[in-house]
Amino acid sequence: MTHLKITGMTCDSCAAHVKEALEKVPGVQSAIVSYAKGAAQLALDPGTAPDALTAAVAGLGYKAMLADAPPTDNRTGLFDKVRGWMGAADKGSGGERPLQVAVIGSGGAAMAAALKAVEQGAQVTLIERGTIGGTCVNVGCVPSKIMIRAAHIAHLRRESPFDVGLTATPPVVSRDRLLVQQQARVDELRIAKYESILESNPSINLVRGSARFKDGHTLIVEAAEGDWYEVAFDRCLIATGASAAIPPLPGLAETPYWTSTEALVSETIPKRLAVIGASVVALELAQAFARLGSEVTILARRTLFASEDPAIGEAVTAAFRAEGITVLTQTQASAVTYSDRQFILTTPQGELRADQLFVATGRAPNTTSLDLERAGVALDSQHRIVIDKGMRTSAPNIYAAGDCTDQPQYVYVAAAAGTRAGINMTGGDATLDLDAMPAVVFTDPQVATVGYSEAEAQRIGLQTDSRTLTLDNVPRALANFDTRGFIKLVAEAGSGRILGVQAVTPEAGEIIQTAAIAIRARMTVQDLANQLFTYLTMVEGLKLVAQTFSKDVTQLSCCAG
């Protein structure tokens, strides 16, 4: 048997794609690929070129190197190392044994919790089975926003509101070079914000391997080499994140489809890209690929952003179609095949053919391999860990935070939850209030929300009064010659207390934090209307929409207070 060490995989779907690629290499009889172990085991014909194996893996954006066969038994050394950590912990200040905290994961929630627990005097064992840093820095927020920004620049060079006086120059897109730039910044941030911090903190012991619960106070950790050992804890935080949820679409599993992980590291821009999905990840990357040169078709089971205020989906649909993106609403593929290097999707409108298929239908929590039932940790119907506002699970002394829980899947929520979990695991009583949680989607125009939509407020029995301001009433938008979108403010009828804001505007993410602070401060629309806002800024639109509750803003002069 031949063994490969593989780095860069972030989920079981990655492993499935690597397996498929390896088994296509001439001479490969079979391949077993483990995401958890970061390794592949291959049965090969004599003379099979090793370079072909590593090249097949590299073609998917991962790194591979030949490895010797795993040792049959090296447990004694690992047990000695763990005992050494525990012995060092016994020599804490004042002779007291520091609190032993185990953290499963190394993303935003895990790191925040580990650092806070150490700050409070705990000794932390942090267990990671894959790449340090979790989703956001490696395969999520950071690389996607870099790609989106590059696509935005390409779009402006090709077309802008100022083409009347600035000659448009369609760019030549070198995706391979953009990818090198993107991944270099990803590596830089991972090293600076995760790896270097772990290496420099003597109170955090990093363990490589997959963890599962033996009971409510013990973890079993299996290392990539096949070794395993036990880690005892006083407190434990589960912060294992989530992976792409794959729909049960007939034929899909037999095709080389993309999730966001593969899409972000692709060295090529497909000529025709089909996208299944109609929310954040699907739409951000669909527009980015379109602006970098793909002919994009989006299949939305209902509408774009179906769970939000309907006006949001309508505005984004109009913006996408204006850019040449095909948006098929109320459309669901019933089957997919892959033949002659093209995908064939069966839809109610007929066959849809594409050179690549990108599936982004949500994310599922990474909880199935943890043996949570052994520790008494309860899950909801979607296999998410149920927690209270203090990040406590149903099991004593076990906490959870981030995308593996029933919290909103945003890295800043995960980090905030991790910090509070770190406080609570070490004797505190911190809670996380998400009533004024801002959210941003990095399409163009951006989508930003905070608080209640009108329908959500009415659903819980609140009487509402709302106003919507189109951007042709915002001076900054007029000066930009870009009046796509709107700002909507939802208030409580009678009191005027601000309940929520929804915005579809360029740079809406720079607007929404002001709205979040206003909601947190329990401001009224009149309070907001009376504030000083700088001119010309997009955030001035918040003041203007607040003024519409009592005035006709079309009859006001510029900067009218």
What pLDDT is recorded for position 12? Answer: 66
Angle CA 147–306–357, to nearest 5:
45
**CA distances to 35, 54, 272, 329, 545 from 257, in Å:** 18, 21, 13, 21, 44
Cα gap 117→119, rounded to integer Å = 5
What pLDDT is recorded for position 66? Answer: 87
Catalytic residue among 62, 194, 229, 410: 62
> Of all helices (H) and strands (E), which one includes residue 238?
strand 235-238
Active site residue 136: yes
Catalytic residue among 9, 391, 437, 538: 9
278-297: pLDDT as tens digits: 999 999 999 999 999 999 99
- Count the helices and strands in the chain (H runs, E runs): 17, 26
DSSP reduced 3-state for 500 = strand
What pLDDT is recorded for position 42? Answer: 86
Active site residue 404: no
What pLDDT is recorded for position 70? Answer: 40
Low-confidence ranges of the chain (pLDDT < 50): 69-83, 85, 88-93
Q: Are residues 15 and 57 in the same domain?
A: yes
Assess if residue 106 is contained within a domain.
Answer: yes
Model pTM score: 0.84
Assess if residue 558 is contained within a domain.
Answer: no
Q: Are residues 98 and 221 in the same domain?
A: yes
Catalytic residue among 1, 65, 86, 136: 136
34-58: pLDDT as tens digits: 876 778 888 898 888 888 898 888 8
Residue-range definition of the domain harbouring residue 507:
439-553
Cα gap 200→118, rounded to integer Å = 13
| Closest to 7 measured CA to CA, from 222, 156, 161, 224 | 224
User: Residue type at 272?
Assistant: R
Active site residue 236: no
What pLDDT is recorded for position 364? Answer: 97
Active site residue 9: yes
| Closest to 111 measured CA to CA, from 103, 102, 122 | 103
Which of the 8 DSSP states describes residue 379?
B
Catalytic residue among 86, 141, 338, 412: 141
**Domains identified in the chain, total number:** 4
Assess if residue 534 is contained within a domain.
Answer: yes
Q: Are residues 407 and 535 in the same domain?
A: no
What pLDDT is recorded for position 93? Answer: 46
Which residues 6+ apart lie within 8 Å of 245 measured at CB?
Answer: 361, 362, 363, 364
Q: Are residues 283 and 380 in the same domain?
A: no
Catalytic residue among 111, 338, 452, 559: 559
Residue ending a domain, among 425, 457, 476, is 425
Question: Exposed, middle or buried by CB within 10 Å (0-12, 13-18, 19+), for 459?
Answer: exposed
Assess if residue 500 is contained within a domain.
Answer: yes
Q: Are residues 105 and 191 in the same domain?
A: yes
Assess if residue 174 is contained within a domain.
Answer: no
